[in-house]
Structure 1
Amino acid sequence: MEIGIIGLGAMGREIARNLADAGHTVLAWNRSGGQLDGVRIVATPAQALQADMALTMLADDAAIRSVLQGTNLLSLARPGLVHVVSSTISVALAKELVDSHRTAGIGYVAAPVLGRPDVAAKGELNVLAAGAPQALETVRPVLEVISKRIWDMGGEPPAANAAKIACNMMITMAIEAMAEAVVLTEGNGLTRERFFDLILNTLFGSRSYQVYSANITQQHYKPGFKASLGLKDLRLAQAAAEQLGRNLPMLSAVSDQMAEAVKARGGDRDWSVMADYTIRPAGGP
């Protein structure tokens, strides 16, 4: 199959590479150019939309609006195209994309993913897919190449985006929960190594706790997912809650804490750096 890719950031590159390695013809457009073995770089995003299907992995709402909507790009797509958007975007924009794809007469599947670049490199992403059943079946063989599992989020694409935002919100809550637990236990003479050994083997053994407890233990915050992007996603969650007329107090607290960690020059570090901000005494080194 010929597949167009729009966006070759850390995640997009790994997705494109895996699709090429699986024998697909991959045409990719990237705002900042670049090269990738096995992938043909095209000059415009419109060229990527001439493939059998296309997948967009851009950073945020602003990038999606600029590339897809600001240039009326969808009107240039090949008739019959199914377009998969795997970016983490707001629910509001997700609803706009449903309308704009319908107007352009092309298929649309929302398929945000769970997993960091190292997981994408292994082709083991969890894909949260939602859209019309026929469109989903068309792109399923491609999504299977990049995923460990495809999770069916139903027929309404914004549901997948809401699920992704909720998942990221819950990860940040887990990071903050571990940090606050370390404040209590370490302050009373228990090392974080021993405490995390306890919780990982009793109450909380999920991947998020495993990955981020290791970061906290080692005080190692080399970016896998930048704190600035984590803050962006928390703000998407806040916007979604506001649209529902709901106040989510844990979300508000964690968003404020992530904002402080970013403000303290942590924006380019892994989002688990929020734990370091919580654990260190105010004014500490």
Structure 2
Amino acid sequence: MIIGFIGLGIMGLPMATNLVTAGHDVRAYNRSPREFSGTVADSAAAAVTGADVVITMLPDSPDVEAVVLGPDGVLAAAAPGTLLIDMSTIAPATARTIADAATEAGFRALDAPVSGGEQGAIDGALSIMVGGAADDFQAAKPVLDVLGSTVVHVGPAGSGQTVKAANQLIVAGTIGLVAEALTFLAAHSVDLEPAVAVLAGGLAGNRILDRKAAGMIAHHFEPGFRIDLHHKDLGIVVDSARAAGVTVPLGAVAAQLMGAARAQGHGSLDHSALLLVIEALSKR
């Protein structure tokens, strides 16, 4: 297929590269120049003109709205009938707005945010939660299967983003608890590596322990997913929960802690740097 890909960030670049490796003709655009094995376009409009599929992988709701709905955006430059797959993490309400505008313009639209971090993107092993029409999901699945090992249709437009919000709620809460556990163990002079090994083998086992604990122990916080972005995502959780009349007390605390990490200057670090906030509160 001819795929227009917009957004070559930490996640987008390996995703687009995997599509090239799979044999697709990928024409990509990024606001700042990036080296890329496919075709580099000089504008979003150039990337999507003549495309069968357009994928957007952008930081936030306003970015997606500008790229898709703007005067030189996807709906203006691509042909009606094109399949638009937004894989960014944005507000569910924005995803529905995008889908409505795309449908009115004769496009097919899916919201398909991902989980799995940079390594999942590199390995083509992302978890992809997809909202939109079932027929459009089936049309997109050959492309999505290149990018993810778990690709699931979860409901109508906006549903993918709602599931992603739940994902980010669980991940943030788990990082916070792992950070508290490591700080607690260190305060009691426990050897952290074997402690994590035994915790990971029991009911407390989770992917944060598997993927993040070693870096947290070593205080290596190279960004796989930045605190700035997780702070944005938890804002989506809190706002969406309020709109639905749902109480998320632990999520609200996680959002405050992530906001504190950002306020302390850690926004560009990996979200596992939430440990630094817990350590500071504990004067460790």
Fold shared by both chains (TM-score > 0.5): yes
Whole-Å separation in 2 of the counterparts to 1:92 and 1:76: 24
Asked whether the 8 Å contact 1:166–1:237 carries over to 2, the reply is yes
- TM value normalised by structure 1: 0.93
Asked whether the 8 Å contact 1:216–1:275 carries over to 2, the reply is yes
Listed one character per residue, the Cα deviations across residues 213-252 of structure 1 (whole Å, up to 9, x for unaligned) are 2222222111111111111111111111111123311111
Whole-Å separation in 1 of the counterparts to 2:63 and 2:4: 17
User: Cα offset for 1:204?
Assistant: 2.7
3-state SS of 2:158 partner: helix
User: Cα offset for 1:68?
Assistant: 1.6
Gaps of 5+ in 2: none
* Residue number in structure 2 paired with 1:99: 100
Q: How does 1:151-230 map to 2 (within 5 A)?
A: 151-154=152-155, 156-230=156-230
Asked whether the 8 Å contact 2:6–2:28 carries over to 1, the reply is yes
Asked whether the 8 Å contact 2:68–2:98 carries over to 1, the reply is no
* Residue number in structure 1 paired with 2:46: 47
Distance change in 2, residues 1:191/1:35 (3 Å): closer
* Residue number in structure 1 paired with 2:261: 261
Asked whether the 8 Å contact 1:182–1:192 carries over to 2, the reply is yes
- TM value normalised by structure 2: 0.93
Whole-Å separation in 2 of the counterparts to 1:71 and 1:239: 29
3-state SS of 1:84 partner: strand
User: Cα offset for 1:43?
Assistant: 2.6
Whole-Å separation in 1 of the counterparts to 2:270 and 2:191: 22
More displaced stretch, 257-266 vs 175-184: 175-184
Corresponding letter in the other structure for 1:111 = A
Asked whether the 8 Å contact 2:266–2:273 carries over to 1, the reply is yes
Q: How does 1:54-73 map to 2 (within 5 A)?
A: 54-71=54-71, 73=73
Asked whether the 8 Å contact 2:132–2:159 carries over to 1, the reply is no
Whole-Å separation in 1 of the counterparts to 2:278 and 2:52: 48
* Residue number in structure 2 paired with 1:128: 129
Whole-Å separation in 1 of the counterparts to 2:231 and 2:246: 19
3-state SS of 2:129 partner: strand
Listed one character per residue, the Cα deviations across residues 90-123 of structure 1 (whole Å, up to 9, x for unaligned) are 1121121121111111001111111222221121
Q: Give aligned pairs, total.
A: 282
Corresponding letter in the other structure for 1:264 = Q
Considering only aligned residues, what root-mean-square deviation do their CA atoms show, in Å? 1.7
User: Cα offset for 1:281?
Assistant: 4.7
Asked whether the 8 Å contact 2:180–2:278 carries over to 1, the reply is yes
Matched, 1:34 2:43: no
User: Cα offset for 1:194?
Assistant: 3.3
User: Cα offset for 1:163?
Assistant: 0.7
Corresponding letter in the other structure for 1:204 = A
User: Cα offset for 1:35?
Assistant: 3.5
* Residue number in structure 2 paired with 1:116: 117
User: Cα offset for 1:164?
Assistant: 0.8
More displaced stretch, 157-166 vs 80-89: 157-166
Q: How does 1:2-17 map to 2 (within 5 A)?
A: 2-17=2-17
Whole-Å separation in 2 of the counterparts to 1:282 and 1:203: 26
Asked whether the 8 Å contact 2:178–2:208 carries over to 1, the reply is no
Whole-Å separation in 2 of the counterparts to 1:178 and 1:113: 22
Corresponding letter in the other structure for 1:10 = I
| Ranges of 4+ aligned residues in structure 1 off by more than 4 Å | 281-284
Corresponding letter in the other structure for 1:142 = V
Whole-Å separation in 2 of the counterparts to 1:268 and 1:62: 20
Asked whether the 8 Å contact 1:109–1:129 carries over to 2, the reply is yes
User: Cα offset for 1:52?
Assistant: 0.9
